[in-house]
Amino acid sequence: MTTTPVTYPTGALIDGQWITSATSFPVINPATGKEIARVPNLGAKETQDAVDAASRALGAWSAKPAKDRSIVLRRWFDLITANTEPLAQLMTAEQGKPLSEARGEVAYGASFVEWFAEEGKRAYGRTIPTTVASRRYITIKQPIGVVAAITPWNFPIAMITRKVASALAAGCTIIVKPAEDTPLCALAVAKLALDAGVPPGVFNVVTTMDAPAVGKVLTDDARVRKLTFTGSTAVGKALYRQCADTVKKLTLELGGNAPLLIFDDANLDQAVAGAMASKYRNAGQTCVCANRILVQSGIYDRFAAALVAAVEKLHVAPGTDARCTIGPLINADAIAKVEALSADAIAKGAKVMTGGTVNAAGPLFYQPTVISGVTRDMDIVREEIFGPVAALMRFETEADAIALANDTPFGLAAYLFSQNLSRAWRVAEKLEAGMVGVNDGIFSNEVVPFGGVKQSGLGREGAAEGLDEYLETKFICLGAIDA
Ligand code: ADP
């Protein structure tokens, strides 16, 4: 197949047209502080245009046989995959993650397109045994309609494809508002979607600096039947409220406060490898990053020493440096947050075992850090760190560990390390989380359901569950069949 190089569109995408606007905003490379490009700063009017376009496109797209939509999605997957290198370079430029991780995210992002290209063909209804001789009961699945997606900057491709591929496979049309820090990856994958044959209006991208104004149009418009949001809990709650008047279906992937439990009977090497993968990937900027590392007394000192040794091998550098394992944080606010949480912990008695400062590579680079002796009165155990700082807490018994782990309003990911199968199963069942990794620090992929409980959100993405989020069940009663 022919592949088109990704040429980084810098217009927004509405109804198949790349549009500009009178005002624009810069996209900054966090490693250098330099401007990469400018994109349109759109407002309520253009958002309305995008909803109009998505509404017009809905009829034809939803009427296509699932197999035809699947062919288009499969072409989109092939194009993303063929353009892995330019997409990864673009992602590292605007988001900062190491190139190796950016390549991994392109594959991860593409995997959702491949999965939903297939899964869309399996939107099965049911026949239900009747209660009345003259009737038959059937359910069919139908696309929910126009969808709005609001996405974060930490996975600038995967958070788009995970939503868009499932919506499109189901027969929905979509308007995406990407994070203001990382609009270029969204526009690049949207261009590839057009190249793959996604019709005008089916996939729209509205870039803006004024997220509340765009969000208001998307939530107020009754034609938008679903909002899918990944981001902070505070914004997610506000959007949840805004969707009440039009009773939209919602998927919310909100903040986490993931506990990572290490029991005395853990395999130390596995525990260190799992903690490293979970904590330091994307410089700690994921909602499933271990936020609290709870370590049983008998293994605490050995684990802490081994973790520090592994952390000191990390290489802080711009993501384009082949040795880089920790890139910059996304912006100055992220650095300020990490510094404030660390300072609070230290003021209350925690100790820095390694790191604890900004790195010489630049103002947004933070030295990978391990803080020991963290206790439940510290802010760092309540708030998402979203940076390369590991907070170690000590516990004595399994019951204490479970109580500590669940002592949070959040419930996205949790991890546990133990070689005792009975304990692993028992604890996994008791952890209040949507996803539990047992002896594993990274588990997200396209075939398993991603999502949280409690204030971490609603709904699931990926897997069969991810398709269902974009479908309505219609019950059809066929009466008088004996007439
Ligand atoms: P983060 O702290 O990770 O940046 P946010 O929740 O602020 O998380 O951002 C996630 C997404 O939500 C981004 O696309 C952002 O522009 C958007 N956003 C932020 N505030 C609002 C709002 N009031 N209405 C709609 N979208 C918003």
For the chain, which residues make up each domain, given as ranges? 12-254+456-475, 258-445
Length of the chain measured in residues: 483
30 vs 407: CA distance, rounded Å = 34
128 contacts 140 by C-beta, under 8 angstroms: no
What confidence score (pLDDT) does residue 7 get?
72
The answer, yes or no, to whether residue 44 has pLDDT greater than 50, is: yes
Element (H, E) at 140: strand 136-143
326 vs 283: CA distance, rounded Å = 5
- Does 206 sit in the ligand 1 pocket, CB within 6 Å? no
| CA nearest ligand 1 atom 23, residue | 212
Which is nearest to 389 in space by CA: 372, 368, 417? Answer: 368
Can you list the pairs that 31-36 forms with residues at least 24 positions away whose Cβ atoms lie under 8 Å?
31/96, 31/318, 31/319, 31/320, 31/327, 31/328, 31/361, 31/362, 31/364, 31/365, 32/318, 32/362, 33/362, 33/363, 33/364, 36/93, 36/94, 36/184
325 vs 290: CA distance, rounded Å = 17
| CA nearest ligand 1 atom 14, residue | 179
How many other C-beta atoms are found inside a 10 Å radius of the C-beta of residue 174? 28
DSSP state, 326?
B
What confidence score (pLDDT) does residue 6 get?
58
Taking domain 258-445, whether its CATH number is 3.30.1540.10 is answered by: no
CA of 386, closest atom in ligand 1: 3
109 contacts 160 by C-beta, under 8 angstroms: yes
Quick: pLDDT tens for 103-138. Answer: 999 999 999 999 999 999 999 999 999 999 999 999
The pTM score is 0.97
- Does 150 sit in the ligand 1 pocket, CB within 6 Å? yes
Q: For 467-481, what is the mean pLDDT? A: 98
Helix 421-430 with 398-406: angle, nearest 10 deg? 30
Residue 284 sits at the vertex; the CA angle it makes with 447 and 256, to the nearest 5 degrees, is: 65
Q: Which residues are catalytic?
A: 253, 287
- Does 373 sit in the ligand 1 pocket, CB within 6 Å? no
Compute, in angstroms, the gap from residue 58 CA to the centroid of ligand 1: 26
- Does 186 sit in the ligand 1 pocket, CB within 6 Å? no
Q: Classify 258 as helix, strand or coil.
A: strand
Compute, in angstroms, the gap from residue 181 CA to the centroid of ligand 1: 10
Quick: pLDDT tens for 289-340. Answer: 999 999 999 999 999 999 999 999 999 999 999 999 999 999 999 999 999 9
| CA nearest ligand 1 atom 22, residue | 212
Quick: pLDDT tens for 141-177. Answer: 999 999 999 999 999 999 999 999 999 999 999 999 9
Q: Radius of gyration over alpha carbons of the chain, in Å?
A: 23
* E runs forming strands in 208-267: 224-230, 249-253, 258-262
H-assigned helices in 64-127: 66-82, 84-95, 99-119
Q: Supply the mean pLDDT for the chain.
A: 97
Fold entry, domain 12-254+456-475:
Aldehyde Dehydrogenase; Chain A, domain 1 (3.40.605)
